[in-house]
Amino acid sequence: MSAEENKATIRRMIEAFNQRDLAFIDEGFSPHFVLHTALTPGWPRGLEGARKMFTTMLTTAPDIRLTIEDIFAEGDKVAVRWTFRGTHTGESPLRGAPTGEHFTIVAIALYRFADGKIEEDWGVDAQWQTGEVWT
């Protein structure tokens, strides 16, 4: 797949996430998917890990929306800088009990593709801001 096709897959992933379309996981992620981040040691691999990544965010903040700020690609890798906005109304393994606060997360991730599917995700520790910031 070309770098442009890989970027298009990331855009489809964000659109699917924002529409709560979890069917994208089976079409867009490799069965060998690995999430690499310091915040999630022991995360499951494969489609189960991809599904958990989506459902954990949706459980933490059912109203969460993702916005791509920048996206770059070269070869089999895509880098994304994005913003997550939502309300912390659900239990979160990273943030604990619900606070009801609005939040913004600014994050960067690097994805590696294999056979046209997302195979690896290197997430950079995100900055969590409460309140209406960076709107």
Asked whether residue 10 carries a pLDDT value surpassing 60, the answer given is: yes
Q: How confident is the model at residue 43 (pLDDT cuts 50, 70, 90)?
A: confident
Q: State pTM to two decimals.
A: 0.88
Residues 6 or more apart in contact with residue 134 via CB below 8 angstroms: 83, 104, 106
Q: How far apart are alpha carbons 76 and 135 in whole angstroms?
A: 32
User: Quick one: average pLDDT of 100-124?
Assistant: 93
Find out whether 67 and 49 touch, Cβ atoms under 8 Å: no
Domain boundaries, the chain: 3-130
- pLDDT of 135: 41
Higher pLDDT: 132 or 77? It is 77
CATH class of 3-130: alpha beta
